[in-house]
Structure 1
């Protein structure tokens, strides 16, 4: 049994408000409350904001009651109380949430990386329990990995040159246990076990850790992308987003996901309502760009930044009960270039690559040399297929493999060996017309597959490739496939049509730099040519 002197700890979530949003947040939270209670004199300006808790029957009671004998009608009612603790400390305003209180805290009020920064400043890289990250390439897949025990970050699938860290959970350094307990989690909010009697001392420690910038030195690889805070730059970035939304085929440049899905904050929405939520409003299990477009058109509006910020998105749970509301803007993922630097939008916040990250990426790409045998120049008109055919026809030693798919592995898996091969120099060319990060990522994946299959100790793929070459019927010799090739004897050449690697969007550069690092560690010779 706990003794009278044992510290009372309470699991809490705390947010840091943006200074510019403090007045708005305080006004709206107090308007939503039943009663506002001031705290003790030793915590000046602080308040406990109690939220209304109406009694009601659970939603599952009515359908279950139809199974009861003799028309029984159990009377079951419950309440879901909620509250917030508003605590000024120095120049910062902290908001603790209890119960459904978190649903009253708007995304635009809070510092988006507060919890993550704090967790990274406390948790060593060898004491991670969970990592949640968003892949900023292609479709911006979101991944969450959880370990059964505190583990090293290298045991997770986190890729620092590809992923935007959204949330981290782990065991803090032991010297912080008296303040934060033995488990913390940080995303937008910071979750930990608070010793209630030491609220002020704890907030001072939180402020010190957040302002220390130690998260950058302790976790440099998790801070390759940093939040943009300059208001003038944010306006320019939003203007570029507006240009995308008002341009042709904006759906190809925008991905949609609930803000909480990226950070792992709160309950995971299972259904969505775009626009005003009425009894007859249609729900959808997915956020679809076309659905938003139809909604805007139904209001005689036009797609653009203003519409994105004005359109409400209601987030519903599995029972279609509302668990939150955000704007369509906060659901968008996008990539734009400002002043030669690529920026990404995620959960309503803009991020830019860290200067050190840019420098290291460019340094890696500078290692790319030219192939021993150069392909002919592109005429700037042909698509990939005609260019590959024309290039291969320019020299009898160039063999065309474009669209010659090799069936291999389970199911209907089919792989393209390369686009063009020059056997005298043992060069494999992989040709792509770049169309942003997605096109380059496809190129990188093709090179990876060939590096894995063609150079594998298992000869099965090479045997299938030999069969395919024979079936083509061009009389090509396949003796070079009878033994396992050596990595250092072959050159893997990335070919971009009409663009130097230096002219690619930054995150496309990251994909190539990552591939280059992987292959060079395995002893491959990699080159690059712009045609």
Structure 2
């Protein structure tokens, strides 16, 4: 039979257990089974899903409009998979909706993406799909109209997890337009039925090499773990850590909160005991039988967020847990209900950057906490800023907004400003990773706009003179020198001595990014903490 052009999707199964047969790799969908023709010499099986025609759900509304039953409205989806064994490995070629016939957790989860990166011309990419590790993780896809280098897509190698990529094969790879994401590798080629084993063997060789490290080494920095068996094992370790009260367990909000409006937090089984900060021990202490805890319990239990107006929102505790498991040359992290694997070399680079971030020598008072009728309370950011400005003689710029056409809304120059041009940005530690990452981004944006936008500086000077005439010239209209300014990130509820080491990993990443961006522009950057202290009795 003559060769013809085909578009194929291929998966590679994980090493099989003893006695596993082809059908064990499928879901429970009903299938018909066919053996390959003897003359092809293929060790494999074809499975075709048993399907029937269905009338689409939107047919009824058309019947109503037409006044009669509209004929010939039918859907029929075709699904098939060819499972073959080559050199001891099993591969799945899927057709139609065939990828839904295979049990995805039994296949190598990075097979598609890694194979694509090993075979792509890095200067001829067409699209990328990314998972950005922001305060609230973002999924995004970018595509271009012509072959492009990876730099065109604006990938942030500190925060972006590459999920899928398409492009043109590099020289020496006899395939056409290729794509890879997670477990599936897609490609076009001229082939005939007898070529499946040779194709599988060739693509396995592409997967096995490390060519991608030349141009795409950053993809190993952080990757999302999708393998269900690995996730189950990690969840077991997470449950054990909670059950043994591991001090590394951190419960935090999985998204940015409106801190000025938050009264406090509570947990399932103790909903009415509202505390001003999120304390992991408060949750663990509500569990009657720690030995009986399981992952379903973590997913079922809730963190309640109480606001000053009496409204209560809730999040699954599993989504709120941040925990790191260190083993070998990898670190596993659960964050927002998802597990990530972080390369040790990448962690080392982040640590090296953090070592360069100095502790501020500015004096800051401790944050006051007190008991109010049995309810624990903590000083709000706004009240703390007012008190600190009064005690230390700083200019209070909290909630003093400056308009700019560089952002979608007005921004604060900073929360506190000193007469020696230290710009202090303040955030509570109680907000966890989401609030802290927002803090670092906020400080970076304000400094960069101040440096590059004369119109913004003009408006800022007006705001400064309104706050205090003595502050008016701290931001010159012309000839602003970034080296004259120090950007200070102040975190409430944590001592300066332990601050950097206790930051969640993704907050460390964002602090490192802010530090590098700002220092490259000439700013000095430091960090400071303010521990809690009982409010003095009047």
Q: 2:399 aligns with which of 397, 403, 421?
A: 403
- Given the two structures, how large is their TM-score scaled by the length of structure 2? 0.73
- Contact 2:250/2:321 (CA < 8 Å) preserved in 1? no
Per-residue CA deviations over 1:329-364 (Å, capped at 9, x if unaligned) read 9x9797422249863459997322111111111112
Q: Could you tell me whether the CA contact under 8 Å between 1:441 and 1:511 is conserved in 2?
A: yes
Residues 121 and 218 in structure 1, CA contact (< 8 A), matched pair in contact too: no
318, 330, 345: which one aligns with 1:356:
345
Q: Which residue of 2 aligns with 1:50?
A: 48
Q: How far apart in 2 are the matches of 1:45 and 1:352?
A: 36
* 2:408 is the counterpart of 1:418: no
Q: Could you say which residue in structure 2 is the equivalent of 1:164?
A: 161
State the Cα distance separating 1:439 from its structure 2 match.
1.6
Structure 2 residue 424 is matched with structure 1 residue 436: no
2:139, 2:62 → 1: CA distance?
Answer: 36
Cα displacement (A) at 1:148: 1.0
The answer to whether the aligner puts 1:514 opposite 2:513 as a matched pair is yes
Distance across 2 between alignment mates of 1:461 and 1:76: 60
Structure 1 CA distance for aligned equivalents of residues 320 and 109 of structure 2:
15
Query: What do the CA deviations read for 1:238-267 (whole angstroms, capped 9, x no partner)?
Result: 44269889x999894499xxxxxxxxxxxx
Following TM superposition, the consecutive aligned residue runs of length 4 or more in structure 1 with deviations greater than 6 angstroms are 227-233, 241-245, 247-251, 307-310, 331-334, 346-349
1:464 aligns with 2:459: yes
Distance in 1, Cα, partners of 2:407 & 2:207: 50
Asked if the contact 1:34/1:51 (under 8 Å) is kept, the reply is yes
Give the secondary structure class of the aligned counterpart of 1:478.
helix
1 CA distance for matches of 2:205 and 2:336? Answer: 26
8 A Cα contact 2:423 2:486, kept in partner: yes
Matched, 1:84 2:78: no
Matches within 5 A, 1:226-245: 226=223, 235-240=233-238
Are the equivalent residues in 1 in contact too, given 2:252–2:322 (CA < 8 A)? no
Deviations along 1:439-487, one digit per CA (max 9) or x if unpaired, are 22111121122123222242x2223223323333x44341333423211
Change (3 A) 1:250 1:14: farther
Whether contact under 8 Å (2:397, 2:415) holds in the other structure is yes
Over residues 348-395 of structure 1, what are the superposed CA-to-partner deviations in whole Å (9 max), with x where a residue is unaligned? Answer: 973221111111111122222344x42235257444334333333333
Structure 1, 154-163 or 27-36: larger mean CA deviation:
27-36
Q: Work out whether 1:501 is the aligned partner of 2:500.
A: yes
In the TM superposition, what is the alpha-carbon distance from 1:120 to its structure 2 partner? 1.2
Spell out, residue by residue over 1:188-223, the C-alpha distance to the aligned partner (whole angstroms, 9 max, x if none): 311112434422222112111222233334311122
**Equivalent residue of 2:526, what SS?**
strand
- How far does the alpha carbon of each residue in 1:414-434 deviate from its partner, in whole angstroms, 9 at most, with x for none? 31111221222x211112223
Contact 1:30–1:36 at 8 Å: present in 2 too?
A: no
Stretch of structure 1 that moved more, 59-68 or 125-134:
59-68
2:264 is aligned to none
Q: 2 CA distance for matches of 1:107 and 1:520?
A: 45
Counterpart of 1:181? 176
For 1:30 and 1:308, locate their aligned partners in 2 and report how far apart those are by CA, in whole Å. Answer: 28
2:127 alignment partner in structure 1? 130
Counterparts of 1:91 and 1:172 in 2: how far apart (Å)? 27
Alignment length (residue pairs): 454
Matches within 5 A, 1:264-413: 305-306=295-296, 335-339=322-326, 343-344=332-333, 350-371=339-360, 373-379=361-367, 381=369, 382-396=379-393, 398-409=394-405, 413=409
Query: Residues of 1 paired with 2:501 and 2:197: CA distance?
Result: 51
Map residues 218-257 of structure 1 onto 2, 5 A cutoff: 218-226=215-223, 235-240=233-238, 252-253=253-254
Q: Is the 8 A contact 2:458 2:477 kept in 1?
A: no
Shift of 1:174: 2.2
The answer to whether the 8 A contact 1:38-1:48 is kept is yes
* 2:474 aligned with 1:480: yes
More strand by share: 2
**Residues 405, 414 of structure 1: 8 Å contact kept:** yes
In structure 1, the partner of 2:204 is: 207
Decide whether the 8 Å contact of 2:254 with 2:319 is kept in 1.
no
The 1:67–1:392 alpha-carbon spacing in structure 2 relative to 1, beyond 3 Å, is closer
8 A Cα contact 2:250 2:322, kept in partner = no
Aligned residues of 2:413 and 2:447 also touching (Cα < 8 A): no
CA change 1:169–1:309 in 2 (3 A) is: farther
